[in-house]
Amino acid sequence: MHTNLWFWIIFNAGVLSVLAIDLFAFQQKAHRPSMKEAAIWTLIWVLLSLGFGSLVWFLMGPAKAVEFLTGYLVEYSLSVDNIFVFALIFSYFAVPAAYQHRVLFWGILSALVLRGIMIGAGAAFVQTFHWALYFFGAFLLITGAKLLFNRKKVVDIARNPVIRLVRSWISVSDSYHGAHFTIRRDGRRILTPLAMVLIMVEITDVLFAVDSIPAIFGITHDPFIIYTSNVCAVLGLRSLYFLVAGIVHRFVYLKPALAIILSFIGTKMLLADVLHIPTAAALGFIGSVLLTATILSLLIKHRHADAQPVLEPEHDSETVSNP
């Protein structure tokens, strides 16, 4: 499947342009976006993604557009799990609210590069070895089962091996220095806690991408559709975080819904040679599962001991102890 090179160039140029406008026109002053601002930007990213889907329909046909929309829906819903971990990271490092947006901006920009590499490698692997689809399908079934039956694990950030490795190699300051990721002290460059937070955000995205990228191969094998749906979902993650971080714990049925979706896609991949499930049918099923989970979460009041909101730091202090 070869997509016109100009499609790749125009899409990436458009993404970089929008990010540049966001960074230099709207985010010059470090601040925590209000709920209204976050809602507006979330709507903008969704509308831009749907607009791109319409462009895919016009240029590549309805089948590709449905593949894009299905992939976008899967990736966007799976990214909600990232939000809970992001909130834990920000709380653990006591990140001043004004700098959280900067961390997510550069974290997501790095994620676009890392996901592009992972998608390229995955596409080459699938095109070379057909049995890779069965491997991905089995992997998604196992992941879905873990989500459905395993109890919620506590994320122990202090024991993260990458963080411990970085600390053993590079000095880290004991306090924040504005929005800087590094500072110069005694003639040498050292990291600030904000850089450690950025590293954790990037690690989190890579770990979640290991689940989400195989899932989209169950929908399409077209690298362009896989890449663009991933990028559109990731771009909207930053504003979505500020919109729902405080209430994400209320969506108690989201994890079972994601487990069902991953298991469905895994089964679809395993049965691809004997049973063809149209992408439009898959889109309808995935949309129904997510809608049902959202409605049930909002209507039914669950009070689990582990379903407590993750508290954001309420202060703007720039001092944090080195864990």
pLDDT digits (tens, 9 = 90+) for 47-79: 999 999 999 999 899 999 999 999 999 888 887
Residue 253 has a pLDDT of: 83
Amino acid residing at 292: T
- Are 118 and 209 in contact by the 8 Å Cβ rule? The answer is yes
The answer as to whether 244 is a domain residue is: yes
The answer as to whether 193 is a domain residue is: no
Q: What percent of the chain has pLDDT over 90?
A: 12
Structure-model confidence comparison of residues 129 and 222, the more confident one: 222
Residue 54 has a pLDDT of: 94
Q: Which residues pair with 189 in a beta bridge?
A: 184
Tokens of 298: 């909002």
Taking residues 172-181, what's their average pLDDT?
79
Global pTM value:
0.78
Residue 4 has a pLDDT of: 80
Candidates 266, 152, 132; CA nearest to 211 is: 266
Tokens of 16: 């970089």
Structure-model confidence comparison of residues 140 and 164, the more confident one: 140
Cα–Cα dist 268/238, whole Å: 31
The answer as to whether 27 is a domain residue is: no
Q: Which domain holds residue 286?
A: 32-152+198-299
Whether the predicted pLDDT of 186 surpasses 50? yes
* Total domain count, the chain: 1
Cα–Cα dist 213/126, whole Å: 12
The answer as to whether 180 is a domain residue is: no
Q: What percent of the chain has pLDDT over 70?
A: 84
Residue 39 has a pLDDT of: 86
The answer as to whether 139 is a domain residue is: yes
Residue 162 has a pLDDT of: 67
The answer as to whether 3 is a domain residue is: no
Cα–Cα dist 2/93, whole Å: 45
Residue 202 has a pLDDT of: 84
Per-residue pLDDT of 16-46, as tens digits, reads: 888 887 766 656 566 667 778 888 888 988 9
Give the CA angle between residues 40, 44, 48 to the nearest 5°: 175
The answer as to whether 14 is a domain residue is: no
Whether the predicted pLDDT of 290 surpasses 50? yes
Cα–Cα dist 99/145, whole Å: 37
Residue 51 has a pLDDT of: 93
The answer as to whether 18 is a domain residue is: no
Q: What DSSP character marks residue 319?
A: B
Q: Can you give the C-alpha Rg of the chain in angstroms?
A: 20
Return phi, psi of residue 252, to 5°: -70, -20
Taking residues 294-317, what's their average pLDDT?
56
Residue 154 has a pLDDT of: 54
Residue 24 has a pLDDT of: 67
* Residue ranges in the chain assigned as alpha helix (H): 5-21, 35-60, 62-78, 80-92, 97-128, 132-149, 161-169, 193-217, 223-235, 237-244, 254-270, 279-299
